[in-house]
Amino acid sequence: MDLERLIRDRIRDVADYPKPGVVFKDITPLLADHTAFAGVIDSIVDHHGRGAIDKIVGIEARGFIIAAPVAYHFGAGFVPVRKKGKLPSRTHEETYDLEYGTETIEMHVDAFAPGDRVLIVDDVLATGGTAAAAAELVRRAGGEVAGLSVLIELSFLDGRSKLGNLDVHSLVSV
């Protein structure tokens, strides 16, 4: 079975979660399947070129699950981007619109050395607000955004349009 089919078969739609009208993409069946999960990690690393990245940014919370093993395979550091108030040191923050509200995310101000090549990793690209905010945080902290990798792209929400010329790699587009 090809990787895209394997991924699609292991993503469960949950209607009206976290609020009415939203169809949540539950990736827990995929995470529980070693072959599918390993395929996701390998595909991201292969796409961006092993050794070409200094730091991996994982976006809270499901992005952490994917970003940490990607960082390990790159031999790169892992930098968490979290919701406001969750990081213990001085931070940059960025507020953005979600598909179903607004949110503020933060990253430590000292997360990168000047010029670090940074890959942003998340589970879903929806409206593009979270990814665009994370990219802005990376730039503000001195990193160079090398790209964005997501497991699922909700193409009907046109999130790519908020990301300019950023290299966007999605494993599945719906």
* Catalytic-residue membership of 10: no
Q: How do beta strands 101-108 and 77-83 pair?
A: antiparallel
**Of the listed 10, 62, 106, 153, which one is catalytic?**
62
- DSSP H or E segment with residue 34: helix 34-48
**Of the listed 60, 93, 99, 136, which one is catalytic?**
99
- Backbone phi and psi for residue 74, each to the nearest 5 degrees, phi listed first: -80, -15
User: Rounded CA gap, 52 and 128, in Å?
Assistant: 24
Tokens of 95: 């507020």
* Catalytic-residue membership of 62: yes
Tokens of 76: 């790169």
Amino acid at 110: D
Name the residues annotated as catalytic: 62, 99
